[in-house]
Amino acid sequence: MSKELRQHIEEIIPLTDKDFSYILSHFTEKKLKKHQYLIQIGDKVAHTYWVSNGLLKATYTDEKEKEHIIQFAMENWWITDYQAYFTQTKAILNVDCLEATELLCLSYENREKLCKELHKMEHFFRRKANNGFIALQKRMLSFMTNSSETRYDLLLKQYPTLFQRVSKSIIAAYLGVSRETLSRFNK
């Protein structure tokens, strides 16, 4: 489980065994079952989570009680309510498990500590943030320029495995269309 984390970090920065075991000591483990909440609206968001196994969604619930999916997270992805985490305020999102999930948890304090003590970890997280920004900007762009049907096709192409793991209503909530409209896309 931690082997994968090491690999994940080493995609960006090289680590010695000592480095990694020190880094790993700042994480804790957590296991959740399907449908369990990792974060609920109003919670203090003390951690960011690295997914070693499983699948989660981060959702915003609007005033009509409709769920909008901001982010999925599967193996090797990070997830949390970033707004709440970075600004150390209360959660505005729910994060819950679409499958049984295993996580490595990194507290805000430990993340800042690692960044302070190990310059290369600060570099790692800067790079991660940059990549996250680019990915989000691509999604934004897709929202502005593509029809929902095109967005559906592109998602299908980009994450074919996702479609074997979640229902169409979930995909619809991510794409920002009703499940009925999405259903009519399947020719």
What number of CA atoms fall less than 13 Å from residue 53's CA on the CB side? 12
Tell which one of 3, 17, 63, 64 touches DNA (CB under 7 A): 64
The count of C-alpha atoms lying within 13 angstroms of the C-alpha of 8, restricted to the half-sphere facing its C-beta, is 17
Q: Which of 18, 19, 24, 25 is nearest to 4 (CA)?
A: 24
Please count the other Cβ atoms lying within 10 Å of the Cβ belonging to residue 46: 16
Q: Is the dihedral of CA 162, 67, 29, 119 positive or negative?
A: positive
Any contact of residue 130 with its own copies (CB under 8 A)? yes
Stretch that binds its own copies, among 21-29, 99-107, 128-136, 162-170 (CB under 8 A): 128-136
Amino acid at 111: R
Give the span between the Cα atoms of 151 and 157, in whole angstroms: 10
Residue 29 CB, shortest distance to its own copies, in Å, is 25
Residue with Cβ nearer its own copies (32 or 106): 106
Task: By CB under 7 A, tell whether 176 contacts DNA.
Answer: yes
Residue 70 contact, options its own copies, DNA, none, Cβ 5-8 Å cut-off depending on partner type:
its own copies
Partner touching 179 among its own copies, DNA, none, CB below 5 to 8 Å by kind: DNA
Considering beta carbons, is residue 32 or 49 the nearer one to its own copies? 49
Residues that bind its own copies (CB under 8 A): 60, 62, 66, 68, 70, 82-83, 86-87, 115, 119, 122-123, 125-126, 129-134, 136-141, 143-145, 176
